[in-house]
C-alpha cells in the first residue's frame, strides 16, 4: 500500500528523526567515531523500536493514559536489557566501546517520541513499519557520520586500513597525509551532522523553517 510505504520512506528523507526533527542527537554524537559501533547501535535501535512499537501498539487500549510514560519506559527498558545482554554475550569488546550508550537507548527521544506520537494511536502492523522506518532514518545518519569520522579520523573502515598504515607510512601516509584527530572528537560529529542538515535543506527548500 502506498500509505504504508510512506511510513518507511518518509523518515529516511524528508522527515528524518535526526536531521529534521533533531532527536537522538546525543548518541549520534557519542558513538559514531567508528563505523562498526554506528552499525551495531543502529541495529540495536532498529530492534528496540520495531518490537517496542508493536508491543505498545498491542497494549494501547489497556494502558491508562496517566501512567503511559511508565508503561513505555518498562517496555523500552526490557528490550534494551535484552540487547545489552546479547551484545555482552556475543560481542563483548564492542559492548565495552558502546558502554553506557546501549543502556541510554532507553532515553533516546526518537523511541519515546514514536511510542507517544504513533504507536499509542495506530495498529500493530503500521506501528511496526513506523518503528522500522524511523530506526532506519536514524541508522542512515549514524552510518554516514560514522563512515566519515572513521575514514578521516583513523584512516580505517570497520577496522580495515583503507588509506594505508600510519606508522609504517604506506599508502596515502607516504605522501605526508595525516589523520584528522578532530574527527574523533564529538564536536566534529556535531559539525558533520550540521553539514548533512545543510545539504539536505539546500536540496529541498520546503524543509527550511523561518
Partner 1 sequence: MSLKNKLHNIKEKYKGKKMAPAFNALHTFLYLPNETTHGGTHVKAADDLKRTMNIVIIALVPCLIFGIFNAGYQHYLATGAIEASNGFLGGTFWTFDNLIHGAWKVLPLVIVSYGVGLAVEFLFAVIKGHEVEEGYLVTGMLVPLIVPVDIPLWMLAVAVIFGVVIGKEVFGGTGMNILNPALTIRAFLFFAYPTWMSGDKVWVSEAVERAGTADAISGETLLGAYAQNNTLPGVDVWDMFWGLIPGSIGETSKFLIIIGALFLIFTKIGSWRIMLSTVIGALVMGLIFNGVVDAGWISDSSKFYGLMSVPFWQHLIIGSVLFGAVYMATDPVTAAQTNKGKWIYGFLIGFISIMIRVFNPAYPEGVFLAILLMNVFAPTIDHYVIQGNVKKRMKRLKVKTA
Give the cell for residue 58: 498491542
Q: Which residue of 178, 206, 208, 210 would you call a contact of partner 1, by CB under 8 A?
A: 178
Q: Which residue of 96, 123, 125, 182 would you call a contact of partner 1, by CB under 8 A?
A: 182
User: How far is 173 from 207, CA to CA, in rounded Å?
Assistant: 41
Q: Which residue of 121, 123, 159, 194 would you call a contact of partner 1, by CB under 8 A?
A: 194
Q: Judge whether 158 and 40 are in contact, CB under 8 Å.
A: no
Helix axis angle, 109-117 to 68-90, nearest 10°:
140
Q: Which range binds partner 1 by CB under 8 A, 110-118, 120-128, 141-149, 174-182?
A: 174-182
Helix, strand or coil, per DSSP, at residue 160: strand
198 binds partner 1 (CB under 8 A): yes
Q: Which range binds partner 1 by CB under 8 A, 54-62, 63-71, 97-105, 182-190?
A: 182-190
Q: Which range binds partner 1 by CB under 8 A, 18-26, 76-84, 106-114, 183-191?
A: 183-191
Longest alpha-carbon distance in the chain: 65
Residue 3, number of CB atoms within 10 A of its CB? 8
191 binds partner 1 (CB under 8 A): yes
Residue 157 or 197: the one with the smaller Cβ distance to partner 1 is: 197
Helix, strand or coil, per DSSP, at residue 45: helix
CB of 40 to partner 1, least distance (A): 27
165 binds partner 1 (CB under 8 A): no
User: How far is 208 from 191, CA to CA, in rounded Å?
Assistant: 18
User: How far is 191 from 126, CA to CA, in rounded Å?
Assistant: 34
Q: Which residue of 70, 125, 181, 204 would you call a contact of partner 1, by CB under 8 A?
A: 181
CB of 152 to partner 1, least distance (A): 9
174 binds partner 1 (CB under 8 A): no
Residue 157 or 185: the one with the smaller Cβ distance to partner 1 is: 185
Helix, strand or coil, per DSSP, at residue 158: coil
- Binding-residue total with partner 1 (CB under 8 A): 12
User: How far is 93 from 33, CA to CA, in rounded Å?
Assistant: 15
E strand or H helix at 156, and its extent? strand 156-157
Which residues of this chain interact with partner 1, rule CB under 8 A? 176-178, 180-183, 185, 187, 191, 194, 198
Amino acid at each position: 500500500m502506498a500509505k504504508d510505504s510512506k511510513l518507511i520512506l518518509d523518515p529516511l528523507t524528508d522527515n528524518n528523526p535526526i536531521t529534521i526533527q533533531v532527536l537522538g542527537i546525543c548518541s549520534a554524537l557519542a558513538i559514531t567515531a567508528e563505523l562498526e559501533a554506528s552499525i551495531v547501535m543502529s541495529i540495536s535501535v532498529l530492534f528496540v523500536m520495531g518490537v517496542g512499537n508493536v508491543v505498545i501498539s498491542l497494549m494501547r487500549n489497556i494502558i491508562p493514559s496517566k501512567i503511559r510514560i511508565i508503561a513505555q519506559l518498562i517496555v523500552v527498558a526490557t528490550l534494551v536489557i535484552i540487547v545489552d545482554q546479547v551484545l555482552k554475550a556475543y560481542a563483548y569488546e564492542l559492548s565495552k566501546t558502546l558502554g553506557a550508550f546501549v543502556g541510554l537507548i532507553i532515553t533516546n527521544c526518537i523511541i519515546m517520541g514514536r511510542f507517544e506520537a504513533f504507536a499509542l494511536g495506530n495498529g500493530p502492523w503500521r506501528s511496526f513499519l513506523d518503528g522500522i522506518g524511523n530506526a532506519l532514518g536514524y541508522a542512515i545518519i549514524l552510518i554516514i557520520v560514522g563512515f566519515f569520522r572513521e575514514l578521516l579520523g583513523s584512516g580505517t573502515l570497520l577496522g580495515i586500513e583503507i588509506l594505508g598504515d600510519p606508522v609504517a607510512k604506506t599508502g596515502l601516509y607516504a605522501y605526508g597525509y595525516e589523520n584528522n584527530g578532530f574527527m574523533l572528537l564529538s564536536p566534529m560529529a556535531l559539525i558533520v551532522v550540521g553539514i548533512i542538515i545543510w545539504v539536505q535543506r539546500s536540496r529541498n527548500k520546503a524543509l527550511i523553517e523561518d
